[in-house]
Each structure stands twice: as structure tokens, then as C-alpha cells.
Amino acid sequence: DTAVSQTPKYLVTQMGNDKSIKCEQNLGHDTMYWYKQDSKKFLKIMFSYNNKELIINETVPNRFSPKSPDKAHLNLHINSLELGDSAVYFCASSFRQGASNEQFFGPGTRLTVL
């Protein structure tokens, strides 16, 4: 009965590869997010989707492409992986956008690029 789930939990890959991280929420939320937490533990928003439409796209390289097949899923595809992409990626969801709505986070995907 996990609220926000991510797969895989760990991902180890070589530079230049293409990989995807999947996220699913069963809370019936309208909005989903991707965050990146780097080695210094800073947690930053990458993308926000509301009802399958991109709302926020912070300064993220276009090698990162989110895909939302439906309201419950927001996958993150990364092309041509670089060493600097190594981080923990967190998916989150909220009932809707706006400051009065708390976000629920998934367990994270630890990506290591060799």
C-alpha cells in the first residue's frame, strides 16, 4: 500500500548510457514532481507535472526528459548519462499545486554513473 513508489531503488550504469526511473503514486494526486539530491545533500526541484502537463522545468539539461503517461505516473528518462548525474532522485506528489498542499515523497533512486 505504498503511497509513492519508485523503481529501481539503485541504478549503477556507465557514462553515455540511457536510463529511466519510474514513479507511481496511488494517492489520487493531480501533481507529481522530480527532485535531485546531490552528494552535498542539497535537494532541488527538477520538474513538476500537473494532470500530465509540464508546469515547472528548472534549469535541467535537456538530456533529462520526464514522461507522464497518466496522472499516477511520472517517469524520468536520462540520455547520455554523465558522472555529474550521480545523485539520489526523489519523486513526489501532491493533491494539487499550491502552497497549502503537502507533498509526499518516494523512497528515492540512487543513481551511480561510472
Partner 1 sequence: DAKTTQPPSMDCAEGRAANLPCNHSTISGNEYVYWYRQIHSQGPQYIIHGLKNNETNEMASLIITEDRKSSTLILPHATLRDTAVYYCIVRSGGSQGNLIFGKGTKLSVKP
Q: 23 or 81, CB closer to partner 1?
A: 23
**Alpha carbon separation from 39 to 49, 84, 87 (Å, rounded):** 25, 10, 6
Q: Which three cell numbers stand for residue 9?
A: 531503488
How far is it, in rounded angstroms, from Cα 45 to Cα 26?
Answer: 21
Distance (Å, rounded) from C-alpha 37 to C-alpha 51? 25
Q: At 57, give phi and psi (nearest 5°).
A: -135, 95
Identified binder of partner 1 from the candidate list 7, 19, 22, 56, rule CB under 8 A: 56
Least Å distance, CB 28 to partner 1, is: 16
Contact flag: residue 1 with partner 1 (CB under 8 A): no
CB of 43 to partner 1, least distance (A): 4
Nearer to partner 1, 87 or 90 (CB): 90
Binding site for partner 1 (CB under 8 A): 4, 31, 33, 41-45, 48, 50, 55-56, 58, 90, 92, 94, 97-108
